[in-house]
Structure 1
């Protein structure tokens, strides 16, 4: 699926919301913090089996994560620190939500552990490639590299799967899908690097 490669197109749809927050004077890093707090709230709600409310909190977390970059562009407050914190906050949310689900009893903890591993590895591959191969070209504060369009299941797909299947009362299915697809996506990226190793 790889929704990430359509990120630039999707930004236009949420631009009015970003502009609203930009006018309020809220900084991008403050919005990132809000995203993290909503994500933590979602994790707690999942742990107590309030799946519907947890999905709602996760949706709010994802929306704030999406608009912080827009606010940074509108107010010309892009920074390397902000980009790094945004990335770190995203992975904290992903990990905490899956840990919350693991503690809830809604899914086998072993499957949740595989999902956490896949989620982290799917993302971990990118900074390793940046460091070892040296991708450093940025557009709107984001590094642009070939891996952006490689892999069919990333963070957007993970969040959407959790929200939709939680609303359908199938949190267990969501975690199974995430466990399978994030690890498969990570392997796709490794295979891509192997096939194109002579180019780098």
Structure 2
């Protein structure tokens, strides 16, 4: 779903926003750390019962995930460590966002399953690419898609729609599981050639 949008952003952002941030002296790793810091605020705002801030945090954390790559490409500073840092902080951010949802009252068991499959989606991409299989855009629910659903859920938390949020979390778990299967099939077919 977001694959096309990400490609569009990757074409436009480096030449506009990425260059502007680079000229301002902002580094890709600083943006990556900012995204992680924003995600770390998610459980805190839930604990403080300031749920109205959660959608803003999720939106800004997702934006940082797009901008760090845009600045890296605009500055011609894509590095293996930057890629590693981005991947690791994305996983930590995922854990923090799912933790915030569980703390906010979304079914904890469903949330644990959704988080587990989300992490396996990321692992399947990393392992596939380690085997030289192109994995970007493979699957129905990449990280950006899951973040959009979490963003919608964070808004619904304000209206105390717990059953709807439980259903959306189950949707994340299901889509992530399907994505793991799709990526596994992609790797299997690529390696069979």
TM over 0.5: yes
- Conserved? CA contact 1:42–1:55, under 8 Å: no
Equivalence for 2:152:
164
When residues 173 and 53 of structure 1 are mapped into structure 2, their CA distance, relative to the original with a 3 A threshold, is farther
1:146 match: secondary structure: coil
- Conserved? CA contact 1:36–1:93, under 8 Å: yes
When residues 47 and 189 of structure 1 are mapped into structure 2, their CA distance, relative to the original with a 3 A threshold, is farther
- Conserved? CA contact 1:27–1:71, under 8 Å: yes
The Cα shift of 1:14 comes to: 3.6
- Conserved? CA contact 2:138–2:182, under 8 Å: yes
- Conserved? CA contact 2:110–2:166, under 8 Å: no
When residues 74 and 193 of structure 1 are mapped into structure 2, their CA distance, relative to the original with a 3 A threshold, is closer
Which consecutive unaligned segments of at least 5 residues does structure 1 have?
136-144
Deviation sequence 1:3-22 (CA, Å, 0-9, x none): 23552222244443322211
1:148 match: secondary structure: coil
When residues 11 and 43 of structure 1 are mapped into structure 2, their CA distance, relative to the original with a 3 A threshold, is farther
Tell me the distance in 1 between the aligned counterparts of 2:168 and 2:185.
25
- Conserved? CA contact 1:166–1:174, under 8 Å: no
Tell me the distance in 2 between the aligned counterparts of 1:69 and 1:40.
20
- Conserved? CA contact 2:28–2:71, under 8 Å: yes
2:178 pairs, out of 180, 184, 189, with 184
The answer to whether structure 1 residue 152 and structure 2 residue 146 are counterparts is: no
Tell me the distance in 1 between the aligned counterparts of 2:137 and 2:34.
28
- Conserved? CA contact 1:165–1:173, under 8 Å: no
1:87 match: secondary structure: helix
